[in-house]
Amino acid sequence: MPDHAANPGVALLTGAIGGIGRAVARQFARSGTHLALADQSEAALAALADELRPLGIRVHTFPGDLTDPVYCDNLPAQVQSALGSLDILVNNAGLMRRGAVTEATDEDFSLSMAVNVEAPFRLARACIPIMAAQGGGAIVNTASCWGVYPGPNHLVYCVTKAALAAMTRCLGRDHAHQNIRVNAVCPNEVNTPMLRTGFEIRGLDADEAVQTLNASVPLGHIAEPEEIADVIVFLASEKARYMCGSLVEVNGGKPVY
């Protein structure tokens, strides 16, 4: 990983327009890191890029569908071509399908695996040769506490995040000798649109549901996106230069039940 003071580097961030993604993009931009933003909505990516460019960084947008293998396989080379290097990959995009296994559909499983597991696999596979040729890099995956300690009635989600956690450990071990550090952040509940939408789908008032969750956390509140972004940016930085293959739980002291 380059020292931002001397060479800010280039980060590829998936799920850039989600709650955590936006917070990560803003943190990177403030530190001087140039950005390749990936998500589905071209208009939302363009608006985020316009917000970040006044901070003095270069920002390129790469709208596309992470369930498309061709998009994933080609994206890292496109980023390197557009921005001159690729120093950081943040596999942040993800989705959650809830319910018991008897309620899960084939589409729930296939889509969750495609976004939460196959896309990070393809992106890492394509990024690693680029990073190795440059002398190193950092990959940070957004896994979940629920991938380490599976919670109830989220089988599909827990399986995919457990796979991503295992992928992190395998990649961290296998590519440390190339100076490529691979780590994962494992949040518990985060106050994002995805969380709130899940409450609304179940007919709950999102604000009330978040307040109930807040009371269950020893630190007094579920995570805000910025609190997860801080850890992601740290793991991508030289300050975490001796961390490799780590699953960093960010849970406010709340265990998974």
Is 122's pLDDT higher than 90? yes
Sign of CA dihedral 104, 72, 68, 45: positive
Report the chain's terminal Cα–Cα distance, integer Å. Answer: 37
CB-CB contact of 48 with 37 (8 Å)? yes
Distance CA 59, CA 10 (A): 9
Task: Take residue 254 and report the two structure tokens written for it.
Answer: 């709340």
Q: Could you read off the pLDDT of 59-71 as tens digits, one per residue? A: 999 999 999 999 9
Confidence tier at 209 by pLDDT (50, 70, 90): confident
Q: Quote the pTM value.
A: 0.93
The CB density around residue 240, as the number of other CB atoms within 10 Å, is 19
Please give the single-letter amino acid code of residue 123. L
Q: Which fold has domain 10-188+225-249?
A: Rossmann fold (3.40.50)
| Both tokens assigned to 190 | 């985060």
What does pLDDT average to over the chain?
A: 93
Question: If you average pLDDT over residues 19-40, what whole number do you get?
Answer: 97
Cα-to-chain-centroid distance, residue 119? 11
Residues belonging to the active site: 157
pLDDT of residue 6: 41
| Nearest CA-CA partner of 4 in 138, 130, 113, 98 | 138
pLDDT of residue 7: 52
Please, what is the angle between helix 119-134 and helix 69-83, to 10°?
30
What is the rounded distance in angstroms from the CA atom of residue 62 to the CA atom of residue 75?
8
Per the rule left: phi > 0, alpha: psi between -120 and 50, beta: everything else, 148 is alpha
List, by residue range, all CATH 3.40.50.720 domains of the chain. 10-188+225-249
Taking residues 30-40, report their average pLDDT: 98
